Chain A
Amino acid sequence: MSRLAAFGRFWWDFVIGDDWLVAVLVAAAIGATAAFAHSGVTAWWLLPLAVLLVLWLSLRRAIRSA
């Protein structure tokens, strides 16, 4: 069981890393892009802006916790 937990922890650290909020917000932004695109609205601009916001929020969190 501990090996399984260690395996899960390794992949969590590898993909999610130091800030889980990045993964959550990126997933939400991709979901919003898909929703916009499938309802016929131009959606390419959403992800770059979301990335800028995510990066800024994540940097603020890292600085606060330093």
Chain B
Amino acid sequence: MVEALTIVLAAGVARGWRSALAGLGAAALALAVAVAALGPALTVIPIDALRLVVGALLLVFGLQWLRKAILRASGYRSLHDEDAIFTRELAEARGAARIEHAGLDWYGFTLAFKGVLLEGLEVVFIVLTFGSAQGSISLAAAGAAGAVVLVAAVGIAVRAPLARVPENTLKFAVGVMLTTFGIFWAAEGAGAHWPGSDASIAGVLGFVVLASFILVRLLRRERRTQLRTAELRA
């Protein structure tokens, strides 16, 4: 969501706020339609089959996030720099030709629309999977809507990319949560029974957190050794 805000801000500053906000609104509408259309369809699927599919998807998706967050935290990947992304998007937006459709600058509209739609699809995916597996898509959607409003409010207040948001920490946390629920639901959907039923989620969470921190420490140490060896050779 922070990335989507950065793109909308770049589109708004470079190409005008009317087109950027129209793109933002159109993408938000498309995402709401996706939730409204897919949500009821998911509720008719048997719960075990749903948990198996949702768990597997969450697990694969969560491991992607966790992998990237661990690589960033251990220094193998550079941290997300919203200022750099904003500057790059701004330069590209300022350099593009102006084509008007229906009184809107088409580049600004498309930039904001695509940015919000692509980033928002991740949110829709999480809302649908968490909501359907727990039997309350509307509650999950309300939580996501609250987060969108919060990010938008901060963006409007500061009128700048959210460079100070600890994005890697947030992504680490999201990766841990997605992986935890992915493990829990995929195992349940596959027919396994957790000791202590739902209470074991806390145990799975602790296991994922601990494993992630150990991996970060191991990779950090390895990275430091690599850099020291490279320095000595130079």
Docked-complex contact A44 and B192, CB < 8 angstroms = yes
- Considering the complex, which residues of chain A in the window 20-39 have a beta carbon less than 8 Å from any beta carbon of chain B? 22-23, 26-27, 30-31, 33-34, 36-38
How close is A4's CB to chain B, nearest CB, in angstroms? 18
Contact A59 B59 (CB under 8 A): no
A44 and B187 form a contact (CB under 8 A):
yes
The majority secondary structure among interface residues of chain B is helix
Contact indicator B186/A47 (Cβ below 8 Å): yes
A15 within 8 A of B: yes
Q: Give the distance in Å from the alpha carbon of A12 to the alpha carbon of B14 in the complex.
A: 32
Instruction: Report yes or no: A51 in contact with B183, Cβ–Cβ below 8 A.
Output: yes
* Majority DSSP secondary structure for residues of A touching B: helix
Stretch of B17-25, B33-41, B61-69, B130-138 at the chain-chain interface: B61-69
Q: Say which size band chain A's interface belongs to.
A: 20 to 34
Chain B: interface residue total (CB-CB under 8 A): 37
Decide if A56 touches B215 in the complex (CB within 8 Å). yes
Q: Which of B81-89, B99-107, B204-212 contacts A (4 or more CB under 8 A)?
A: B204-212
B187 in contact with A62 (CB, 8 Å): no
Contacting B179 at CB < 8 Å: which of A17, A51, A59, A66? A51
Contact B60 A23 (CB under 8 A): yes
Q: How far is the CB of B127 from chain A (nearest CB, A)?
A: 15
A54 → chain B closest CB, angstroms: 7
Residue among B56, B67, B200, B215 with max Cβ neighbours from chain A (10 Å): B67
> Which partner residue on chain A sits nearest B191 by CB separation?
A37
Distance between B225 CB and nearest chain A CB, rounded to angstroms: 13
CA distance A44 to B179 in the complex (A): 15
A56 CA / B55 CA spacing, docked (Å) = 20
Shortest distance from the beta carbon of A50 to any chain B beta carbon, whole Å: 9
Residues of B within 8 A of A44 (CB): 187, 192-195, 200
- Asked, given contacts A33-B186, A33-B192, whether A17 binds B64 with beta carbons under 8 Å apart, the answer is yes
CB-based nearest B residue for A39: B191
Partner of B187, one of A17, A33, A66: A33
Residues of the B chain whose Cβ atoms lie less than 8 Å from the Cβ of A37: 190-193
Chain B residues with CB below 8 A from A47, complex form: 183, 186-187, 190, 192
The 5 closest A-B pairs by CB, nearest first: A37-B191, A34-B190, A17-B64, A43-B192, A33-B190
Which residues of B are interface residues toward A (Cβ below 8 A)? 52, 55-57, 59-61, 63-64, 66-68, 70-71, 76-77, 121, 125, 179, 183, 186-187, 189-195, 200, 204, 207-208, 211-212, 215, 219
A-side residues, CB < 8 A to B, are 14-19, 22-23, 26-27, 30-31, 33-34, 36-38, 42-44, 46-48, 51-52, 54-56, 58-59, 62-63, 66
